[in-house]
Amino acid sequence: MTVYETLRHFADSYGLAVMVVLYLALAAWPFRPGAREHNQSAANSIFKDDNDGE
């Protein structure tokens, strides 16, 4: 069995499952408990004045 065949078998069998789990984990990450303060800080960061009137 060549490396190509091994990788092809992985992609056909487990690759999709790994990608779905990764997608769900990354999509749910902002909604985890305790993330509210960080999300609010990120959302309001565009309103901070970095130049101090320049």
Q: How far is CA 39 from CA 10, 15, 20, 44, in A?
A: 36, 31, 24, 9
Task: Give the residue-averaged pLDDT of 28-42.
Answer: 92
Domain extents in the chain: 1-29
Contact 39, 30 (CB under 8 A): yes
**Residue 31 pLDDT greater than 90, yes or no:** yes
For residue range 7-28, what is the model confidence (pLDDT) as tens digits? 898 888 888 889 899 999 999 9
